[in-house]
Amino acid sequence: MFKKVFVNVSIQRNAWRTTEFALACCRYVRQCEMIPVAPQYLFHDENRNCPCIEDLDMGHEYLIDVRMCREQMMDCDKVWIFKNRDPDDLMIMVMCMADEMEMEVRVFGEDELCGLIMG
């Protein structure tokens, strides 16, 4: 049975770049013969491509993203975080939820990403 990896990536300069980065990370997970799970990037849009949510009450959609992440994480075996920038709010929440669920977490830093994703 294949292991499932919850994928979380750094927010990039715009929604298109963030989605492309997430897709590249998911391809890497597949190359490692695991199943990538990345629900937060399925419906990513430019209006929500910000590194920091100033007001958590500003949008119901953001809270849905967090609940979606938690539900999907519960079905995964581990969490992989692909981080080439400072962590955004969602990434911090994912790390906290993984810790709370006692999940194995692997963080890929900027130096590793060049060889894994971009190369």
By CB neighbour count within 10 A (0-12 exposed, 13-18 middle, 19+ buried), where does 107 fall? middle
Using 50, 70 and 90 to split pLDDT, how confident is the model at 51? very low
Contacts of 15 (CB under 8 A, 6+ apart): 44, 45, 46, 48, 49
* pLDDT for the residue numbered 52: 47
* Residue whose C-alpha is closest to residue 11's, from 64, 19, 34, 62: 19
Give the DSSP H or E segment for 80: strand 78-82
Domain with residue 38: its CATH number is 3.40.50
Of 40 and 71, the structure prediction assigns the larger pLDDT to 71
- Work out how many domains the chain is built from and give that number: 1
- How confident is the model over 86-105, as a mean pLDDT? 89
Contact call for residues 16 and 47 (beta carbons, < 8 A):
no
pLDDT at 94 over 80: yes
Q: Which domain holds residue 36?
A: 4-118
pLDDT at 14 over 70: yes
